[in-house]
Amino acid sequence: MTRNLYIYNTLTRSKELFKPIHEGAVGMYVCGPTVYGDAHLGHARPGITYDVLFRLFKHLGYKVRYVRNITDVGHLEHDADEGEDKIAKKARLEQLEPMEVVQFYTLRYHDAMKRLNVLPPSIEPRASGHIIEQIALVQKILDAGLAYISNGSVYFDVAKYNEAHHYGVLSGRNLEDTKEGTRALDGQSDKRSPMDFALWKKASPEHIMHWPSPWSEGFPGWHLECSAMSEKYLGETFDIHGGGMDLMFPHHECELAQNTASRGQGGVHYWMHNNMITINGQKMGKSLGNFITLDQLFTGDHKILEGAYSPMTVRFFILQAHYRSPLDFSNDALRAAEKGLKRILQAAKDLKGLQVSPGQTPSGEIVALKEKVYEALCDDLNTPIVLSHLFDGVRIINSVKDGSLTINQSDREILSGLFGDIMEGVLGLQDESGNEGSGKMIDGLVGMILDVRKSAKANKDWATSDRIRDSLQELGIRIKDTKEGCEWTIG
Ligand code: ZN
């Protein structure tokens, strides 16, 4: 922990020096996806932002426990007209078990994240797997006198909570703003005030996902799962809570209020929020016809896409903006990102074969460059500045390559560190063609070895033939002799 890391804390509205609760360890919780549909462009930004933070903490030597939940209960995603949650509706229409729908989209989400080179979190808890913890939490809030039961549902009493605490402390509003921002009760509601939010909802007969509770057969309120699961896996107080800006109110505000109501404290030291992605200046939405799934982005299969964009291009594009700044998606911006990515990856490749000049004095420029890269990274994850410094490195590499500049061994090592540990390790930018390339190389090598074995067999040199088979097997390559020749598989 030799470097100071500064993080913008939404709660205090200032950039603060990060001080972990436990020396050398970090606990971070990030709101994950609701798995009732395909992962879309909006999932890529928080996925990548908190992945960079996760990677950076590890790079700086911290032990990190990163918890990212899966919202699979589907509540509060009611269809306006039918009042039925989306997981339940899809399950009914397709005659599937709700968990089948959830599993399908969870796997698709994992696949998209993997392609974006987003590391899996340390723990990925599901809301539906933590109903017991959520019921216990509701009971605690009831015991504290800050919730009430109404017709089988349980609601958080916002006005009462606000007498001793500040409801709105995170999103920077007071109770009056909140009151004005909520719709009046329609007369059918069980709530005492429109500001109150559900901790437990009694399920209507058509609601398929429901669980028994002391109050009714029902399901937990959406905000509850994050309070329950973050406490379970990170403790009553933990370091970082992240998510998209769109979750700040009401989701995170309610979470903070639930934490305070049940344990006497907000529990989170640093609240972080990434800004949103717009598409050609517009908010992304199904009704606007600009809703792009990650799959469509990778294949180009959407009317507003002028082509397919690789996962690494999308990652690079997202890192080109600071996570707290808005980011506008357009085909031009993506094409520019594609070019930039190609240039930086080519330089990283060229760096490996770069000639060094012995006796050359070290250039202060490269030592300074390294400092600037770390400074930007530790300045609230300023990835656009990190990239601009890495492009200074690209210029140096290209000058050495074309012979207009020489560098010594130690400078080359610094550059290797920047492109290996930082570009690839922390920013997670990697050569996508590399995987295909090494796959081709393995095919070629195994093919060549099997040719040698074939001639050994033709010469009745069984010892060599068997040795090749056994050695390949030790490497995890199984071979099978067939009439046509020889087949092989890995694993
Ligand atoms: Zn959440």
Q: Does residue 404 share a domain with residue 268?
A: no
pLDDT band with cut points at 50, 70 and 90 for residue 81: very low
| pLDDT > 50? residue 4 | yes
In a domain, 172, yes or no: yes
Q: Does residue 93 share a domain with residue 234?
A: yes
pLDDT band with cut points at 50, 70 and 90 for residue 387: very high
Q: Does residue 322 share a domain with residue 410?
A: yes
In a domain, 1, yes or no: no
Give me the pLDDT at residue 393, please: 97
pLDDT band with cut points at 50, 70 and 90 for residue 435: low
Taking residues 189-203, report their average pLDDT. 93
CA dihedral 156, 160, 164, 168 (to 10 degrees): 60
Give me the pLDDT at residue 156, please: 98
| pLDDT > 70? residue 122 | yes
Give me the pLDDT at residue 211, please: 95
pLDDT band with cut points at 50, 70 and 90 for residue 343: very high
Taking residues 284-298, report their average pLDDT. 88
The answer to whether 94 touches 55, Cβ cutoff 8 Å, is: no
Taking residues 249-271, report their average pLDDT. 97
Q: Does residue 360 share a domain with residue 336?
A: yes
| pLDDT > 90? residue 481 | no
Q: Does residue 319 share a domain with residue 270?
A: no
Separation of 5 CA from ligand 1 center, angstroms? 25
Give the whole-angstrom CA distance, residue 491 versus residue 475.
9
Give me the pLDDT at residue 491, please: 59
pTM: 0.86
How many domains, the chain?
3
| CATH at 47 | 3.40.50.620
Q: Does residue 269 share a domain with residue 256?
A: yes
In a domain, 432, yes or no: no
Taking residues 264-281, report their average pLDDT. 96
Separation of 26 CA from ligand 1 center, angstroms? 19
Pairing of strands 238-244, 218-220: unpaired
Separation of 264 CA from ligand 1 center, angstroms? 19
Q: Does residue 267 share a domain with residue 293?
A: no
pLDDT band with cut points at 50, 70 and 90 for residue 88: confident
Separation of 337 CA from ligand 1 center, angstroms? 31
Separation of 188 CA from ligand 1 center, angstroms? 28
In a domain, 371, yes or no: yes
Q: Does residue 22 share a domain with residue 83?
A: yes
Give me the pLDDT at residue 77, please: 43
Separation of 69 CA from ligand 1 center, angstroms? 8
| pLDDT tens digits for range 131-187 | 999 999 999 999 999 999 999 999 999 999 999 999 999 999 988 888 877 777 666
Give the whole-angstrom CA distance, residue 1 versus residue 23.
9
pLDDT band with cut points at 50, 70 and 90 for residue 202: very high
Domain termination residue (choose one: 217, 240, 274): 274
In a domain, 433, yes or no: no
HSE toward the beta carbon, residue 237, CA cutoff 13 A = 8
Give me the pLDDT at residue 78, please: 42
Domain termination residue (choose one: 256, 274, 292): 274
Give me the pLDDT at residue 317, please: 98
pLDDT band with cut points at 50, 70 and 90 for residue 82: very low
Taking residues 444-472, report their average pLDDT. 90
| CATH at 385 | 1.20.120.640
Q: Which backbone phi and psi does 487 adopt, to 5 degrees?
A: -110, 150
Give the whole-angstrom CA distance, residue 181 versus residue 174.
11
Choose between 18 and 479: higher pLDDT.
18
Q: Does residue 143 share a domain with residue 180?
A: yes
Q: Does residue 295 share a domain with residue 330?
A: yes
In a domain, 431, yes or no: no
In a domain, 76, yes or no: yes
Separation of 251 CA from ligand 1 center, angstroms? 6
Q: Does residue 123 share a domain with residue 13?
A: yes
Separation of 252 CA from ligand 1 center, angstroms? 7
pLDDT band with cut points at 50, 70 and 90 for residue 95: confident
| pLDDT > 90? residue 289 | no
Least confident of 15-19, 263-267, 446-450: 446-450
Question: Average model confidence (pLDDT) for the chain?
Answer: 91
Separation of 171 CA from ligand 1 center, angstroms? 15
Separation of 226 CA from ligand 1 center, angstroms? 5
Give me the pLDDT at residue 76, please: 40
Q: Does residue 309 share a domain with residue 248?
A: no
Q: Which residues are close to ligand 1, an ion, with C-beta < 5 A? A: 31, 226
What radius of gyration do the chain's Cα atoms show?
27
| pLDDT tens digits for range 220-254 | 999 999 999 999 999 999 999 999 999 999 999 99
Listed residue (115, 113, 129, 5) closest to 57, CA to CA: 5
Separation of 3 CA from ligand 1 center, angstroms? 30
Domain termination residue (choose one: 252, 274, 296): 274
Which residue range is the domain that position 468 belongs to? 438-490
Separation of 230 CA from ligand 1 center, angstroms? 9
